[in-house]
């Protein structure tokens, strides 16, 4: 059977990613915020160490891949100063203290996000009272509610729904089939496809006849430079606002409960859930499948391990794992003790 369109691994397949260049070595070095020996050289793209050719840029940020570095054919490699001497003589060393950040900037130089195609698709449903900047792109079958305001150079994807009164700052991207209601978005916010922002939180009271839903009267405030992954959900506040702090990153399939407040540059990884009214201070990391109960305070730069169950406040800078979550050292001491007990019991049984 013919395998149409298939090929070996390609970085930046032109069918899917716009490309600029070629760029001079000097331009690449400037983009990386790095240093390199002066040399006349044109670079045409980026690629991993294993597949990069003489006209491409690669990087190394993990010593595990030193064998790949030794064998690479890349024209230039972004590396930490400690590894510069490991770069083959056939490659130019682009030296920076932050190779991965340098790589991110160089990759964006060659493959910048496509600009929005200004205009409103004929199939979109736009309320007459909505305000849409002329530079914004409104995709097929998108819905824009009354009094909504769509900012400069924003892109609203196919079948996305923007509720009444929602406001977006400049350069926001709302992915296909996402829905945003009861929310105010800052600049450069990216809502990935299928995400749900601003729906009612999980709030109810017990009455004589059963459950009584409590009106959810708050909003969602998403500050600048936030990304919210595909199929994630952020509930609006009950009486206060739910806040996602500037620069934060939410992975796919994350749940944020009502009244939760994230500080600056927090990271919440896939399938993690944060219950209502919990506060994360700046630079907190919540790993995959972790669960946090409500009304907690998680201190700045705390790190919560994968599948941890957090039921009490966490001090700033603390690393916790397990369920119930506890400091890393205490957790592994307990694991070691249990292993010794189990081993002793097993040996005793054999005797």
Rounded Cα distance, 293 and 276, in Å: 8
Rounded Cα distance, 298 and 278, in Å: 8
Catalytic choice (44, 111, 258, 295): 258
Rounded Cα distance, 148 and 158, in Å: 17
Beta strand 42-43 with 23-24 is antiparallel
- Whose tokens are 């500050």? That residue is 223
The interaxial angle of helices 99-110 and 25-32, nearest 10 deg, is 130
Q: Kindly tell me the sign of the dihedral angle through the C-alpha atoms of 321, 326, 327, 330.
A: negative
Distances from the Cα of 54 to the Cα of 69, 76, 219, angstroms? 13, 8, 52
Rounded Cα distance, 239 and 262, in Å: 17
Rounded Cα distance, 254 and 155, in Å: 23
Which residues pair with residue 174 across a beta bridge? 156, 191
- Whose tokens are 């430079």? That residue is 225
Query: Please, are residues 46 and 106 in contact by the beta-carbon 8 Å criterion?
Result: yes
Rounded Cα distance, 184 and 198, in Å: 10
How far does the chain reach from its first CA to its final CA, in angstroms? 62
The three-point CA angle 318-321-323 to 5° equals 125
Other CB atoms within a 10 A radius of the CB of residue 28 amount to: 28
Q: Where are the alpha helices (DSSP H) in 74-227?
A: 99-110
Instruction: Give catalytic status of residue 258 as yes or no.
Output: yes
Distances from the Cα of 63 to the Cα of 51, 54, 68, 95, angstroms? 18, 22, 10, 15
Query: Please, are residues 315 and 300 in contact by the beta-carbon 8 Å criterion?
Result: no
Active-site residue list:
258
């Amino acid at each position: 059977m013919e395998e149409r369109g298939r090929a070996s691994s390609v970085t930046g397949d032109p069918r899917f990613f716009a490309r600029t260049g070629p760029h001079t070595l000097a331009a690449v070095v400037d983009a990386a915020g790095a240093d390199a020996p002066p040399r006349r050289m044109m670079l045409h793209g980026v690629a991993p160490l294993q597949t990069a050719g003489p006209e491409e840029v690669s990087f190394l940020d993990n010593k595990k891949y030193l064998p790949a570095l030794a064998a690479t054919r890349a024209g230039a490699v972004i590396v930490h100063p400690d590894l510069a001497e490991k770069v083959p003589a056939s490659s130019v060393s682009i030296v920076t203290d932050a190779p991965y950040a340098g790589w991110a900037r160089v990759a964006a130089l060659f493959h910048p996000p496509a600009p929005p195609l200004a205009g409103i698709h004929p199939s979109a449903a736009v309320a007459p009272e909505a305000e849409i900047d002329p530079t914004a792109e409104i995709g097929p079958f998108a819905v824009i509610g009354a009094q909504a305001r769509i900012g400069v150079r924003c892109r609203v994807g196919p079948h996305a729904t923007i509720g009444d009164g929602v406001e977006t700052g400049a350069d926001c991207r709302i992915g296909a089939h996402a829905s945003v209601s009861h929310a105010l978005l800052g600049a450069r916010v990216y809502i990935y496809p299928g995400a749900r922002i601003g729906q009612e939180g999980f709030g109810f009271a017990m009455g004589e006849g059963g459950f009584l839903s409590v009106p959810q009267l708050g909003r969602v405030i998403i500050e600048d430079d936030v990304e919210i992954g595909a199929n994630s959900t952020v509930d609006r506040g009950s009486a206060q606002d739910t806040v996602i702090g500037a620069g934060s990153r939410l992975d796919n399939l994350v749940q944020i409960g009502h009244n939760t407040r994230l500080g600056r540059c927090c990271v919440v990884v896939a399938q993690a859930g944060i219950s209502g009214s919990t506060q994360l201070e700046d630079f907190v990391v919540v790993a995959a499948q972790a669960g946090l109960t409500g009304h907690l305070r998680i201190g700045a730069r705390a790190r919560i391990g994968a599948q941890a169950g957090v039921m009490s406040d966490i001090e700033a800078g603390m690393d916790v794992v397990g369920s119930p979550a506890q400091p890393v050292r205490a957790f592994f001491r307990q694991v070691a003790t249990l292993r010794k007990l189990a081993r002793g019991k097993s040996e005793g049984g054999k005797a």
